[in-house]
Structure 1
Amino acid sequence: MSIPPLELIRRFDIPGPCYASYPTADRFVEAFTAEQMSQVMAQRREGAAVLRQPLSLHVHIPFCESLCYYCACSQVVTKQRTRAETYLRYLGREVDLYAAHLGLGQAVSQLHLGGGTPTFLSDDHLRGLMAMLRRSFKFSSDGDYSIEVDPRSVDAARLATLAELGFGRLSLGVQDFDPAVQKAVHRVQPAEQVFGLMAAARALGFKSVAVDLMYGLPLQTPESFDRTLEQVVQLRPDRVALYAYSHLPERHKPQRRIAVAELPPPQARLTMLSRSMAALLQAGYVHVGMEHFALPGDALAVARRQGRLHRSFQGYSTQPDGDLISLGVSAIGRMGAAYSQNAKTLEAYYDCLDQGRLPVVQGLALSRDDLVRRAVIMALLCQGRLDFESIELAYLIDFKHYFSAELDALRDLQEQRLVELGDNAINVTDMGWFFVRGLAAVFDRYLQADRTRARFSRII
């Protein structure tokens, strides 16, 4: 697979949605209430059991011991472990509400603990959390159970506890190995610490270990990031997520501590991206899609080859597309034809549960057009191919008529050899796969209508 020329990368260096969902979360409305979410769950419970796919669970743990200046997540910075105990009690109440609506023993095939810092929780806290979830849900023996790990908060013994609790996949937050960059973003973690954890994870038999990297951080240069990539290649994680840092201090308060003068210029960012992609591909990684790379034998790369890739709020997944229950403050879930988001502060989250109701404060009931476009966008993002007939049969539309404007817009991208437009299908080329997020945006009715992109991260 060839690396795109810098001129093409520069063209797509614009803000755009990451499409963890369609419509995207910025379209959620407060008119979608906990009562509507209850109705959606009633529909699932009343549906034919044979048609219900296993659930996915996401648990958001907001606590962090220290603040990373690049952070754009919902977090609570504290060293008080007792706050976690209170939070877990309220999580238990939320789980009980879902169990009351859906019934005990719902099958679960995927679990992800995200944050914040899930490993802020002590081993006993984690054991209590998993026991609480297993009391209400039935976990599949071959499910995908993952957790985000701050390397500064774990050692080999803690990794052993995670393995004991059933986690098979880890995601290590690295961002950059350069000491000066780490100091500039207030996240100092020596490379040897990460290498030690990787060795321990391998010895414990974890199925997959991912590393998160970020380019565009203060004090980074193409040369310094080359050195980080060299170390990552030596580390040999199963998956690598390569994110672009988006400086949006008006939206994310932690970023206000970053010195703008220390951020790399646009040309340096593009060079970092281009050289990073080249380094990972040369090292044998497969470009799974968007910012994600995986070794050929990893389940994610296998799913990509076999056309079984899916996408959710946790990113690319090997699990079938289905309902997602998200637990905790600010968590976003999906059920049926609806999305929901919980209260964004601990106080509001606790208040809802004290009143005995789901902490849902906004969401969206998808229209028929939303469902059609979601199917199109996810097919492009996950399979890199869209057969018109599959959409026409599922939604009873004439694809070429319904999407005539979008097909016209794709003709320019076809001239750039990013897509191939056939009589009955759209195929993303190898070169286009690097820009698939931008290709999918062509079908985003909301984005094309208002062109307000500033709230999004950059496409590349």
Structure 2
Amino acid sequence: MPSPTTLWNQAMIDRYDLAGPRYTSYPTAPHFAEGFPASEVQAAIARSNASQRPLSLYFHIPFCDTICFYCGCNKIVTANKGRAEPYIDLLHRELALRARQFDRARPVRQLHWGGGTPTFLSAPQMRTLMRLTGEYFSLLGDDSGDYSIEVHPGRMAPDTLGVLREIGFNRLSMGVQDFDPRVQRAVNRFNSVEQVSELCQRARREGFRSLSMDLIYGLPHQNPDTMAATLEQVIALEPDRLSLFNYAHMPHLFKSQRHIDAGALPPPADKLAMVHHAIDRLQAAGYQHIGMDHFARPGDSLALAQARGEMQRNFQGYTTHGDCDLLAFGLSAISAIDNVYLQNHKDMVRYAQSLAVDGEPACKGLALSADDRLRRAVIGQLICHFHLDYAAFERDFGIDFKRYFATALASLRPLARDGLLRLDSGGITVSAGGRLLIRRICMAFDAYLGSQEPARYSRIL
């Protein structure tokens, strides 16, 4: 069935809009521990190979030639293009390492290059990295996989799209953020409507089957009128998917944000007005509100996967390939192998040294307990599908759901009284007015949240 309409309930947003995880993983990354045993990694890889699940590959390309002040990603800002070549050599080493550990027959259903700005690489370097990937892993040669790349539309020549399509990419994600010139100057990120339009047209001619755009609300000098204008320009470009992210100003965590004038940030009421208008306008334009900050056209594979009950969530966000084991390569990249999470070193020197000395680039990890796996499944079901059936979990996990989660369900009763969800004898159903607060609902099932934990996270809206 199609995704229901999301309804705005200002009173409930005022009551429940707090900080919390985005749940691209459970447990979340702050709970990964250093000194993770190599034996745990090897055992997880053995279970992964025995399962014969397909693979998803992620490559973190950290380089940017200019700095976007709002960015909280792990990045290296440099104009020196020569830094890319030794990094590809490091990725080559990591590819060779993982290829020795994983069954080559397992197909790569999903592949993603993120960053940073992956198109910082030259065309020959991009061809080399994809060729090496194909030498070590079983890439699909029939264009049936979801192979995507993030691009900065203001820093990429249209001809680059031909190279990307040639080497196998069929999905394109553009970080538009905002078209207003004053906002762009304030965050040092520039891309005009004309540039993005040209890239969209060229991408469609090249045969990319999905175009996605990212917008950010809450940036300096934004207001409801400027954001509405950007949104109309984006809708006219007809992306297949659209993400609308909340800017979280945390200069104590992200140095680049210290360049932003906090006095120019829009007040909370304006931020809420922006997202309220955007949700209503996008739904009126025919987009389905997939969940949280993601929208898709009804015929997009993500919307279809949600309608079939197959959409899942992982470190790349909502996905149609949650059944894959995720192998992540490069600086700070996070893998999900069977019931183990692994994160690579965030520092380039340590990342390089680890590959040279012991061949293992991961510095942190976490083995999920039975309780972790159960709670991950509960949170994933709610955040993707807004409904949970007790009987299904009792069958799959051998528990009495209402007894096991008695504390969590008790904490949800006030939200049920406020109409954000329905608790009945058979399960949980999130209402149209509760969908915007799904992160708050999922937090009831999070066993790791402590009194200080929300300070690490952005607000829900």
Report the AA paired with residue 74 of structure 2.
S
Distance (whole Å) between structure 2 residues aligned to residue 69 and residue 380 of structure 1: 33
Q: Which residue of 2 aligns with 1:266?
A: 268
Contact (CA 8 Å) 2:351, 2:361: kept in 1 or not?
yes
Q: Which residue of 1 aligns with 2:47?
A: 43
What pairs up with 1:243-392 in 2 under 5 angstroms? 243-392=245-394
Q: Which residue of 1 aligns with 2:458?
A: 457
- Please give the per-residue CA displacement for 1:213-270, whole angstroms capped at 9, x wherever unaligned: 0000011111111111111111111111000000111111100111111111111111
Q: 2:24 matched to 1:20?
A: yes
Q: Which residue of 1 aligns with 2:78?
A: 78
Report the AA paired with residue 456 of structure 1.
Y
Q: Which residue of 2 aligns with 1:407?
A: 409
Q: Which residue of 2 aligns with 1:126?
A: 126
Distance (whole Å) between structure 1 residues aligned to residue 395 and residue 108 of structure 2: 30
Distance (whole Å) between structure 2 residues aligned to residue 52 and residue 212 of structure 1: 34
Distance (whole Å) between structure 2 residues aligned to residue 232 and residue 144 of structure 1: 23
Contact (CA 8 Å) 2:301, 2:320: kept in 1 or not?
yes
Instruction: Tell me the CA shift for residue 403 of structure 1.
Output: 0.3
Distance (whole Å) between structure 2 residues aligned to residue 144 and residue 96 of structure 1: 23
Distance (whole Å) between structure 2 residues aligned to residue 458 and residue 119 of structure 1: 31
Q: 2:93 matched to 1:89?
A: no
- Please give the per-residue CA displacement for 1:296-353, whole angstroms capped at 9, x wherever unaligned: 1111111111111011100111114231000000001101111010000111100001
RMSD: 1.3
Instruction: Tell me the CA shift for residue 35 of structure 1.
Output: 4.8
Report the AA paired with residue 205 of structure 1.
G
- Which has the higher mean CA deviation after the structures are superposed, 57-66 or 185-194? 185-194
Kindly tell me the number of residue pairs found equivalent between the two proteins.
455
Report the AA paired with residue 17 of structure 1.
P
Contact (CA 8 Å) 1:6, 1:271: kept in 2 or not?
no
What pairs up with 1:83-232 in 2 under 5 angstroms? 83-140=83-140, 141=142, 142-232=144-234
- TM-aligned CA distance change 1:262 to 1:281, over 3 Å: same
Contact (CA 8 Å) 2:217, 2:274: kept in 1 or not?
yes
Structure 2: state its 5+ residue gaps: none
Q: Which residue among 4, 10, 23 is the counterpart of 1:6?
A: 10
TM-score (norm 2): 0.96
Contact (CA 8 Å) 1:28, 1:362: kept in 2 or not?
yes
Instruction: Tell me the CA shift for residue 278 of structure 1.
Output: 1.1
SS in 2 for 1:446: coil
TM-score (norm 1): 0.96
SS in 1 for 2:160: helix
Distance (whole Å) between structure 1 residues aligned to residue 10 and residue 238 of structure 2: 27
Instruction: Tell me the CA shift for residue 457 of structure 1.
Output: 1.5
Q: Which residue of 2 aligns with 1:424?
A: 426
Instruction: Tell me the CA shift for residue 105 of structure 1.
Output: 4.0
Q: Which runs of 4+ in 1 moved over 4 A?
A: none
Instruction: Tell me the CA shift for residue 33 of structure 1.
Output: 4.2
